[in-house]
A and B are shown apart, each in its own frame.
Chain A
Amino acid sequence: MGARLLTSAFFGAWIEEAARSVRAERDELTRLDAAIGDADHGTNLDRGFTEAVRALGDRRPATPGAVLVLVGSTLIRKVGGASGPLYGTAFREAGKALGEAPEVSPADLAAALAAGVAGVRRLGSAAEGDKTMVDALAPAAEALTAALAGAVREGPGADGAPEAGTPAVGRDGHPSAPEDGRDGHPGAPVDGPAGAAGPDGRGLAAALAAAAEAARAGAEATIPMPARKGRASYLGPRSVGHQDPGATSAALILRALHTVAARW
Protein backbone atom coordinates (compact mmCIF):
# COMPACT_ATOMS: atom_id res chain seq x y z
CA MET A 1 0.00 0.00 0.00
CA GLY A 2 1.21 3.50 -0.76
CA ALA A 3 0.00 5.23 2.37
CA ARG A 4 2.44 7.64 3.93
CA LEU A 5 4.01 6.08 6.99
CA LEU A 6 3.79 7.62 10.42
CA THR A 7 6.92 8.07 12.51
CA SER A 8 7.56 8.66 16.18
CA ALA A 9 7.70 12.38 15.31
CA PHE A 10 4.07 12.19 14.19
CA PHE A 11 3.01 10.59 17.45
CA GLY A 12 5.07 13.08 19.44
CA ALA A 13 3.33 15.90 17.58
CA TRP A 14 -0.03 14.32 18.41
CA ILE A 15 0.74 14.30 22.12
CA GLU A 16 1.92 17.92 21.97
CA GLU A 17 -1.30 18.92 20.22
CA ALA A 18 -3.37 16.89 22.69
CA ALA A 19 -1.59 18.63 25.57
CA ARG A 20 -2.39 22.03 24.02
CA SER A 21 -6.08 21.09 23.59
CA VAL A 22 -6.36 19.73 27.11
CA ARG A 23 -4.72 22.89 28.48
CA ALA A 24 -7.11 25.08 26.47
CA GLU A 25 -10.16 23.10 27.59
CA ARG A 26 -8.96 22.40 31.11
CA ASP A 27 -11.50 24.59 32.86
CA GLU A 28 -14.37 23.30 30.72
CA LEU A 29 -13.41 19.68 31.52
CA THR A 30 -13.25 20.50 35.20
CA ARG A 31 -16.62 22.27 34.98
CA LEU A 32 -18.18 19.15 33.42
CA ASP A 33 -16.54 17.02 36.11
CA ALA A 34 -17.82 19.31 38.86
CA ALA A 35 -21.37 18.52 37.74
CA ILE A 36 -21.13 14.74 38.07
CA GLY A 37 -17.66 13.95 39.42
CA ASP A 38 -15.03 15.39 41.70
CA ALA A 39 -14.08 18.46 39.67
CA ASP A 40 -10.51 17.49 38.90
CA HIS A 41 -10.58 15.99 35.38
CA GLY A 42 -9.23 19.07 33.60
CA THR A 43 -6.49 19.68 36.15
CA ASN A 44 -5.45 16.03 36.29
CA LEU A 45 -5.36 15.54 32.53
CA ASP A 46 -3.50 18.82 32.00
CA ARG A 47 -0.86 17.71 34.50
CA GLY A 48 -0.59 14.28 32.86
CA PHE A 49 -0.22 15.49 29.28
CA THR A 50 2.20 18.22 30.33
CA GLU A 51 4.35 15.51 31.92
CA ALA A 52 3.96 13.29 28.84
CA VAL A 53 5.22 16.08 26.58
CA ARG A 54 8.12 16.62 28.96
CA ALA A 55 8.95 12.90 29.00
CA LEU A 56 8.97 12.82 25.19
CA GLY A 57 11.07 15.98 25.13
CA ASP A 58 13.68 14.49 27.41
CA ARG A 59 14.20 11.60 25.04
CA ARG A 60 11.67 10.76 22.39
CA PRO A 61 11.67 7.00 21.74
CA ALA A 62 12.61 5.93 18.23
CA THR A 63 9.44 4.00 17.44
CA PRO A 64 5.77 5.04 17.44
CA GLY A 65 4.95 2.10 19.69
CA ALA A 66 7.51 3.13 22.30
CA VAL A 67 6.27 6.73 22.18
CA LEU A 68 2.73 5.64 23.03
CA VAL A 69 3.88 3.23 25.75
CA LEU A 70 5.93 6.02 27.37
CA VAL A 71 2.95 8.38 27.15
CA GLY A 72 0.70 5.73 28.71
CA SER A 73 3.08 5.01 31.56
CA THR A 74 3.46 8.73 32.24
CA LEU A 75 -0.31 9.26 32.26
CA ILE A 76 -0.78 6.36 34.68
CA ARG A 77 1.72 7.88 37.09
CA LYS A 78 0.72 11.53 36.75
CA VAL A 79 -3.02 11.78 36.07
CA GLY A 80 -4.35 9.78 39.00
CA GLY A 81 -7.98 8.95 39.66
CA ALA A 82 -9.67 6.56 37.30
CA SER A 83 -8.73 8.43 34.13
CA GLY A 84 -5.00 7.91 34.76
CA PRO A 85 -5.19 4.12 34.63
CA LEU A 86 -7.75 4.26 31.81
CA TYR A 87 -5.94 6.69 29.49
CA GLY A 88 -2.63 5.13 30.47
CA THR A 89 -3.91 1.71 29.48
CA ALA A 90 -5.34 3.08 26.23
CA PHE A 91 -1.98 4.51 25.17
CA ARG A 92 0.04 1.54 26.42
CA GLU A 93 -2.15 -1.01 24.65
CA ALA A 94 -2.11 1.09 21.48
CA GLY A 95 1.68 1.31 21.73
CA LYS A 96 2.04 -2.43 22.24
CA ALA A 97 -0.16 -3.04 19.19
CA LEU A 98 2.26 -0.97 17.08
CA GLY A 99 5.13 -3.23 18.10
CA GLU A 100 8.66 -2.12 17.32
CA ALA A 101 8.16 -0.88 13.77
CA PRO A 102 10.02 2.38 13.12
CA GLU A 103 7.13 3.58 10.96
CA VAL A 104 3.51 2.53 10.91
CA SER A 105 0.68 2.79 8.38
CA PRO A 106 -2.72 4.42 8.85
CA ALA A 107 -4.17 0.90 9.08
CA ASP A 108 -1.72 0.15 11.90
CA LEU A 109 -2.88 3.33 13.63
CA ALA A 110 -6.50 2.21 13.32
CA ALA A 111 -5.65 -1.21 14.76
CA ALA A 112 -3.72 0.45 17.59
CA LEU A 113 -6.64 2.72 18.41
CA ALA A 114 -8.92 -0.32 18.48
CA ALA A 115 -6.47 -2.11 20.80
CA GLY A 116 -6.41 0.94 23.07
CA VAL A 117 -10.20 1.02 23.24
CA ALA A 118 -10.28 -2.72 23.99
CA GLY A 119 -7.85 -2.12 26.85
CA VAL A 120 -10.05 0.61 28.31
CA ARG A 121 -13.13 -1.59 28.04
CA ARG A 122 -11.31 -4.44 29.79
CA LEU A 123 -9.86 -2.39 32.63
CA GLY A 124 -13.01 -0.40 33.31
CA SER A 125 -15.49 -3.17 32.45
CA ALA A 126 -17.36 -0.44 30.58
CA ALA A 127 -19.50 -0.75 27.48
CA GLU A 128 -20.98 1.83 25.16
CA GLY A 129 -23.94 3.53 26.80
CA ASP A 130 -22.39 3.54 30.30
CA LYS A 131 -21.58 7.29 29.99
CA THR A 132 -17.81 6.93 29.93
CA MET A 133 -14.90 7.67 27.61
CA VAL A 134 -15.80 4.44 25.78
CA ASP A 135 -18.80 6.28 24.32
CA ALA A 136 -16.39 8.56 22.44
CA LEU A 137 -13.51 6.14 21.85
CA ALA A 138 -15.42 3.15 20.49
CA PRO A 139 -17.30 4.96 17.68
CA ALA A 140 -14.09 6.81 16.78
CA ALA A 141 -12.12 3.59 16.41
CA GLU A 142 -14.89 2.10 14.30
CA ALA A 143 -15.16 5.23 12.15
CA LEU A 144 -11.40 5.30 11.54
CA THR A 145 -11.29 1.67 10.47
CA ALA A 146 -14.36 2.09 8.26
CA ALA A 147 -13.09 5.30 6.66
CA LEU A 148 -9.69 3.80 5.86
CA ALA A 149 -11.34 0.70 4.40
CA GLY A 150 -13.52 2.97 2.28
CA ALA A 151 -10.51 4.94 1.09
CA VAL A 152 -8.80 1.72 0.01
CA ARG A 153 -11.95 0.59 -1.80
CA GLU A 154 -12.14 3.90 -3.68
CA GLY A 155 -8.73 3.08 -5.05
CA PRO A 156 -5.88 5.24 -6.25
CA GLY A 157 -7.94 6.68 -9.11
CA ALA A 158 -10.38 8.45 -6.82
CA ASP A 159 -7.63 9.55 -4.49
CA GLY A 160 -5.08 10.50 -7.08
CA ALA A 161 -7.29 12.31 -9.58
CA PRO A 162 -6.93 15.81 -8.12
CA GLU A 163 -3.21 15.29 -7.67
CA ALA A 164 -2.07 15.72 -11.24
CA GLY A 165 0.81 17.90 -10.12
CA THR A 166 2.33 15.28 -7.86
CA PRO A 167 2.49 12.03 -9.77
CA ALA A 168 2.25 8.96 -7.65
CA VAL A 169 5.44 7.62 -9.14
CA GLY A 170 7.32 10.50 -7.58
CA ARG A 171 6.13 9.55 -4.12
CA ASP A 172 6.71 5.90 -4.70
CA GLY A 173 10.12 6.58 -6.17
CA HIS A 174 11.21 8.43 -3.05
CA PRO A 175 9.36 6.78 -0.26
CA SER A 176 11.90 7.77 2.32
CA ALA A 177 12.45 11.35 1.27
CA PRO A 178 10.28 13.01 3.93
CA GLU A 179 11.85 10.81 6.58
CA ASP A 180 15.35 11.74 5.50
CA GLY A 181 14.40 15.37 5.72
CA ARG A 182 13.14 15.07 9.26
CA ASP A 183 15.87 12.78 10.44
CA GLY A 184 18.50 15.10 9.03
CA HIS A 185 17.06 18.02 10.98
CA PRO A 186 15.93 16.73 14.32
CA GLY A 187 15.49 20.27 15.54
CA ALA A 188 13.10 21.16 12.74
CA PRO A 189 9.54 21.72 13.89
CA VAL A 190 7.74 18.50 13.09
CA ASP A 191 4.43 20.04 13.99
CA GLY A 192 4.71 22.78 11.40
CA PRO A 193 3.04 22.41 8.03
CA ALA A 194 4.74 19.34 6.59
CA GLY A 195 4.77 20.07 2.88
CA ALA A 196 4.55 16.55 1.55
CA ALA A 197 0.96 15.78 2.52
CA GLY A 198 0.14 13.72 -0.52
CA PRO A 199 -3.15 12.06 -1.38
CA ASP A 200 -2.47 9.31 1.11
CA GLY A 201 -1.84 11.82 3.85
CA ARG A 202 -5.13 13.47 3.05
CA GLY A 203 -6.81 10.08 3.04
CA LEU A 204 -5.62 9.59 6.60
CA ALA A 205 -6.61 13.12 7.57
CA ALA A 206 -10.10 12.59 6.14
CA ALA A 207 -10.42 9.28 7.97
CA LEU A 208 -9.28 10.90 11.21
CA ALA A 209 -11.73 13.74 10.63
CA ALA A 210 -14.47 11.09 10.55
CA ALA A 211 -13.05 9.51 13.71
CA ALA A 212 -12.87 12.87 15.52
CA GLU A 213 -16.44 13.68 14.50
CA ALA A 214 -17.62 10.26 15.70
CA ALA A 215 -15.91 10.90 19.04
CA ARG A 216 -17.46 14.36 19.34
CA ALA A 217 -20.92 13.00 18.56
CA GLY A 218 -20.33 10.09 20.95
CA ALA A 219 -19.39 12.47 23.74
CA GLU A 220 -22.46 14.62 23.07
CA ALA A 221 -24.62 11.49 23.12
CA THR A 222 -23.62 10.89 26.75
CA ILE A 223 -25.71 13.91 27.87
CA PRO A 224 -29.04 12.05 28.26
CA MET A 225 -27.42 8.89 29.62
CA PRO A 226 -27.51 7.89 33.30
CA ALA A 227 -23.98 6.96 34.36
CA ARG A 228 -23.38 3.27 35.02
CA LYS A 229 -19.63 3.44 35.73
CA GLY A 230 -17.31 5.59 37.77
CA ARG A 231 -17.93 8.28 40.31
CA ALA A 232 -20.91 9.65 38.36
CA SER A 233 -22.74 6.33 38.71
CA TYR A 234 -23.28 7.11 42.40
CA LEU A 235 -25.57 9.90 41.19
CA GLY A 236 -27.70 7.48 39.18
CA PRO A 237 -30.48 9.35 37.37
CA ARG A 238 -29.12 12.69 38.59
CA SER A 239 -26.20 12.26 36.17
CA VAL A 240 -28.64 12.67 33.28
CA GLY A 241 -28.33 15.99 31.45
CA HIS A 242 -24.57 16.32 31.83
CA GLN A 243 -21.96 15.49 29.21
CA ASP A 244 -19.43 12.96 30.47
CA PRO A 245 -16.04 14.62 31.11
CA GLY A 246 -14.09 11.49 30.13
CA ALA A 247 -15.90 11.17 26.82
CA THR A 248 -15.32 14.89 26.26
CA SER A 249 -11.58 14.67 26.85
CA ALA A 250 -11.37 11.55 24.67
CA ALA A 251 -12.99 13.52 21.85
CA LEU A 252 -10.44 16.32 22.38
CA ILE A 253 -7.53 13.91 22.14
CA LEU A 254 -8.88 12.39 18.93
CA ARG A 255 -9.49 15.85 17.47
CA ALA A 256 -5.83 16.58 18.20
CA LEU A 257 -4.91 13.45 16.24
CA HIS A 258 -6.84 14.76 13.25
CA THR A 259 -5.30 18.22 13.59
CA VAL A 260 -1.80 16.76 13.44
CA ALA A 261 -2.63 14.42 10.55
CA ALA A 262 -4.12 17.29 8.54
CA ARG A 263 -0.77 19.08 8.48
CA TRP A 264 1.45 16.00 8.41
Chain B
Amino acid sequence: MAHDEPTTAWIVTVDERRTDSLDAVAAALEACGLCVDRVLPAAGMIHGRADRARREALAAVDGVASVDPVRDVSIAPPEADVQ
Protein backbone atom coordinates (compact mmCIF):
# COMPACT_ATOMS: atom_id res chain seq x y z
CA MET B 1 0.00 0.00 0.00
CA ALA B 2 1.46 3.37 -1.01
CA HIS B 3 2.08 5.87 1.75
CA ASP B 4 1.75 9.60 1.31
CA GLU B 5 5.17 11.23 1.17
CA PRO B 6 5.85 12.72 4.61
CA THR B 7 5.91 16.49 4.38
CA THR B 8 7.27 17.69 7.71
CA ALA B 9 11.00 18.44 7.60
CA TRP B 10 13.13 17.83 10.69
CA ILE B 11 16.65 18.55 11.88
CA VAL B 12 17.92 15.71 14.03
CA THR B 13 20.80 16.71 16.28
CA VAL B 14 22.93 13.69 17.11
CA ASP B 15 24.44 13.33 20.56
CA GLU B 16 28.11 14.43 20.70
CA ARG B 17 29.11 10.95 21.85
CA ARG B 18 27.58 9.41 18.71
CA THR B 19 28.60 11.88 16.00
CA ASP B 20 31.34 9.49 14.87
CA SER B 21 28.69 6.94 13.94
CA LEU B 22 26.27 9.23 12.12
CA ASP B 23 25.45 6.69 9.41
CA ALA B 24 24.37 4.13 11.99
CA VAL B 25 22.14 6.70 13.65
CA ALA B 26 20.77 7.68 10.23
CA ALA B 27 19.95 4.05 9.50
CA ALA B 28 18.16 3.71 12.83
CA LEU B 29 16.18 6.87 12.06
CA GLU B 30 15.23 5.51 8.63
CA ALA B 31 14.01 2.31 10.28
CA CYS B 32 11.91 4.54 12.50
CA GLY B 33 10.25 6.32 9.57
CA LEU B 34 12.55 9.23 8.67
CA CYS B 35 13.28 9.85 4.98
CA VAL B 36 16.87 11.05 5.22
CA ASP B 37 17.65 13.96 2.89
CA ARG B 38 21.14 14.86 4.04
CA VAL B 39 23.70 13.80 6.64
CA LEU B 40 25.81 16.68 8.01
CA PRO B 41 29.01 15.07 9.32
CA ALA B 42 30.78 18.17 10.64
CA ALA B 43 27.71 19.58 12.39
CA GLY B 44 26.65 16.14 13.63
CA MET B 45 23.11 16.48 12.32
CA ILE B 46 20.70 14.73 9.99
CA HIS B 47 18.07 16.44 7.87
CA GLY B 48 15.02 14.49 6.78
CA ARG B 49 11.23 14.25 6.56
CA ALA B 50 8.70 12.34 8.58
CA ASP B 51 5.10 12.64 9.67
CA ARG B 52 4.52 14.88 12.67
CA ALA B 53 3.35 11.93 14.71
CA ARG B 54 6.78 10.29 14.40
CA ARG B 55 8.63 13.03 16.29
CA GLU B 56 8.61 11.36 19.70
CA ALA B 57 9.64 8.02 18.28
CA LEU B 58 12.50 9.61 16.35
CA ALA B 59 13.65 11.48 19.45
CA ALA B 60 13.81 8.15 21.30
CA VAL B 61 16.24 6.63 18.78
CA ASP B 62 19.57 5.79 20.40
CA GLY B 63 22.11 8.60 19.83
CA VAL B 64 19.56 11.34 19.12
CA ALA B 65 19.90 14.53 21.17
CA SER B 66 16.91 16.42 19.76
CA VAL B 67 14.46 16.49 16.87
CA ASP B 68 13.40 19.99 15.80
CA PRO B 69 11.14 21.18 13.01
CA VAL B 70 12.86 22.93 10.12
CA ARG B 71 11.84 26.57 10.06
CA ASP B 72 11.84 28.93 7.15
CA VAL B 73 14.14 31.94 7.13
CA SER B 74 13.91 34.93 4.84
CA ILE B 75 15.62 38.27 4.36
CA ALA B 76 14.20 41.52 3.01
CA PRO B 77 13.67 41.94 -0.75
CA PRO B 78 16.56 43.37 -2.81
CA GLU B 79 15.00 46.82 -3.11
CA ALA B 80 14.63 47.32 0.68
CA ASP B 81 16.82 49.96 2.32
CA VAL B 82 17.19 47.90 5.50
CA GLN B 83 18.30 44.30 5.02
Do the two shown chains form a genuine complex with each other?
Answer: no
Residues in B lying within 8 Å of A, measured CB to CB:
none
